[in-house]
Chains A and B, each alone.
Chain A
Amino acid sequence: MSPREFQFVFGGFVTAWLILVIYAVSLGLRERRLRKELDRVRQMVEKR
């Protein structure tokens, strides 16, 4: 495989998996935020 071919194949693979990894990380961060929010709302309800 020529360096030009490799450059495109590598670029294609990295881009494909990077998009999915970024999405998975964003899901993880959202989950953490939701768990925190759930704890906060639960405490609020318990106080009332």
Chain B
Amino acid sequence: MREKITYVLAIAGIALVTWNLYKIFFVLPPEANVAAYQIVYFHVPAAITAFTGFFVALIASGLYLATGDLKFDAFAAGITEVAVAFASVNLATGMIWARYAWGIWWAWDARLTSMLTCWLMYAGYLILRRAVDEPTQRAKLSAFLSIFGCVNVAFVYKSIEWFRTQHPAPVLSVRQGGGMGPGMEAPIYWNYLAMLCIATVLVIVRMRQEGVSREIDSLRRMAHAY
């Protein structure tokens, strides 16, 4: 059943991306047919996907701390790893956009710096998990870091409202001061849905690996007990 869901989601994600590419290049009005818009159609959904992942990881970490069930810790770890991949996409496409729009790859403005800090914090989370061997201690430390990291996610989200520095104002009309023009915002949401499908597939694969790792650990313990 899980295999079937994985395949369906993967096909749905790829189909959505193909359809979106067609819309972005051939259907949208000419004012959207510039690099500044077309990069944003991937840059913003990647950020929303990463933030969704970090938020779900926060809930899983909280559930681990409340119940002590390592299943939640494994879920938080898997989802954080996938979210870091999407945060990397957001940072990389943002740098390319900056080079196009500003003529520079990077600026130490509030949004960019806070997003980089966020990425480093979650990369630290993944490194921490490799550094601690004892499962319960690893899970506890990871859960605290995940909760702390999510505070930073909220800061990154609000930073373009709090600090009007170099990064553009919000592009989505659901946010204060945002809006891209009629019909031009939809590809962002469709790409978000596509990335969400792909992220879910990656999380399912990652969770399967966590299961195999747990099986290896229990077999090792069994072997040492003889």
**A: which residues have CB within 8 A of B?**
1, 4-6, 8-9, 11-13, 15-16, 19-20, 23-24, 27, 30-31, 34-35, 37-38, 41-42, 44-45, 48
* Chain B residue at smallest Cβ distance from A1: B33
- Does residue B28 face the partner (Cβ distance < 8 Å to A)? no
- Does residue B38 face the partner (Cβ distance < 8 Å to A)? yes
Q: How large is the interface on B (under 10, 10 to 19, 20 to 34, 35 or more residues)?
A: 20 to 34
What is the interface of chain A mostly: helix, strand, loop, or mixed? helix
Contact of B39 among A9, A41, A45 (CB under 8 A): A9
Residues of B within 8 A of A19 (CB): 85, 88-89, 92
Q: How far is the CB of B213 from chain A (nearest CB, A)?
A: 6
Q: How far is the CB of A45 from chain B (nearest CB, A)?
A: 5
Q: Is the CB of B34 within 8 A of A27?
A: no
What 6 A-B pairs come out closest when comparing CB atoms?
Answer: A8-B35, A12-B39, A8-B100, A23-B85, A41-B219, A5-B35
Q: Is the CB of B92 within 8 A of A30?
A: no
Q: Is the CB of A11 within 8 A of B212?
A: no
**B: which residues have CB within 8 A of A?**
33-35, 38-39, 42-43, 46, 82, 85-86, 88-89, 92-93, 96-97, 99-100, 198, 202, 205-206, 208-209, 212-213, 215-216, 219-220, 222-223, 226
Q: Is the CB of A15 within 8 A of B205?
A: no
Contact of B202 among A13, A15, A24, A38 (CB under 8 A): A24
* Complex CA–CA separation, A42 to B220 (angstroms): 9
Q: Is the CB of A38 within 8 A of B212?
A: yes
